[in-house]
Amino acid sequence: MPILAPIGRVFLAFLEATGRLGRFAITGVSHCARPPFFPRLIGHQMVEIGYYSLPVVGLTAIFTGMVLALQSYTGFARFNAESAIAAVVVLSITRELGPVLAGLMVAGRIGAAMAAEIGTMRVTEQIDALTTLSTNPFKYLVAPRLIAGTLMLPCLVVVADIIGVFGGYLISVYKLGFNPNTYLKLTWDFLEPLDVISGLVKASVFGFLVALMGCYHGYHSKGGAQGVGLATTNAVVSASILILAFNYIITTLFFGT
């Protein structure tokens, strides 16, 4: 009995937190669908998420593609190395690493920034001020970020896919001495539409999750600067874990038996 009570308490707290997050998400999504819309704010967030994340996502992708080619060469050198490497690089990048790594980088960059900005607005009463000026904070703050996150991460992942494959190409051609045309043809032959589509669906979900966690933790932050710092950390950690969990779930849905 004395062991069960604390477990029960933790479980109930978990259920309560999940319920609160679920309600927050539903309210946020419902405001995405109902006017008035704020195109200026959506545009601003899209630039912030899409454009300014390009360098960080591009660098992540190129090094990942390069290291994939290098590592697979060590493993496949004795077999049909050329075609194996092209396949490993393009499939890993489009299906898994493109969306997951872009998601994680954006969680660190954007999720943290959202939590810090909205959290500061909360503790300095700017969110209360919005409400008193007859502007729903879900409509003004949350919905534009959810929309921008969901739309822009797939765009980033398209770029990451291309740069990642290019990274593998660089290593294969200039370091391993493969024929460039054969490598590209093999890459193209291995690639199925579903690989890219599943990656883009993942990216959409991850973009939504990053924005949701940033907004949720910022919105509920309290207690001054320390509270905002905590909200920022929680936004990044929870978004990263959710990205990895949903990556598994979506992979199962697309490719599971």
Partner 1 sequence: MTIGTPKIALRNLHKRFGEKRVLTGVDMDVAAGESIVVIGGSGSGKSVLIKNIMGLLQPDEGSIRIDGEEVVGMGTSERERVMRKFGMLFQGAGLFDSLPVWENVAFGLIQAQGMARDEAKTIAHEKMAQVGLGEEIGVLSPAELSGGMKKRVGLARAIAMEPEIIFFDEPTTGLDPIMGDIINELIIDCVKELGATALTITHDMASARKIGDRIAMLFGGKIIWDGPVAEIERANNPYVEQFINGLAEGPIEAATA
Q: CB 135 → partner 1: shortest distance, Å? A: 5
Selected binder of partner 1 within 126, 159, 184, 229 (CB under 8 A) = 126
Name the segment binding partner 1 (CB under 8 A); options: 6-14, 96-104, 125-133, 186-194. 125-133
Q: CB 134 → partner 1: shortest distance, Å? A: 4
Q: Closest CB to partner 1 among 29 and 237?
A: 29
Q: Closest CB to partner 1 among 42 and 250?
A: 42
Selected binder of partner 1 within 131, 179, 226, 233 (CB under 8 A) = 131
Spatial separation of the C-alpha atoms in residues 229 and 116, rounded to whole Å: 7
Burial of 246 (0-12, 13-18, 19+ CB in 10 A): middle
**Which tokens belong to 221?**
């932050």
Spatial separation of the C-alpha atoms in residues 121 and 111, rounded to whole Å: 15
Spatial separation of the C-alpha atoms in residues 143 and 35, rounded to whole Å: 11
Check binding of 134 to partner 1 (CB under 8 A).
Answer: yes
Judge contact between 195 and 94, C-beta under 8 A. Answer: yes
Selected binder of partner 1 within 74, 80, 132, 257 (CB under 8 A) = 132
Check binding of 251 to partner 1 (CB under 8 A).
Answer: no
Q: CB 122 → partner 1: shortest distance, Å? A: 11
Selected binder of partner 1 within 24, 140, 190, 254 (CB under 8 A) = 140
Q: Closest CB to partner 1 among 74 and 134?
A: 134
CA 213 to mean position of chain CA atoms: 11
Q: CB 187 → partner 1: shortest distance, Å? A: 44
Check binding of 16 to partner 1 (CB under 8 A).
Answer: no
Check binding of 124 to partner 1 (CB under 8 A).
Answer: yes
Check binding of 128 to partner 1 (CB under 8 A).
Answer: yes
Check binding of 182 to partner 1 (CB under 8 A).
Answer: no
Subset of 17-56 contacting partner 1 (CB under 8 A): none
Closest CA to 50 of 170, 167, 124, 159: 159
Q: CB 117 → partner 1: shortest distance, Å? A: 8
What residues make contact with partner 1 under the rule CB under 8 A? 121, 124-126, 128-135, 140
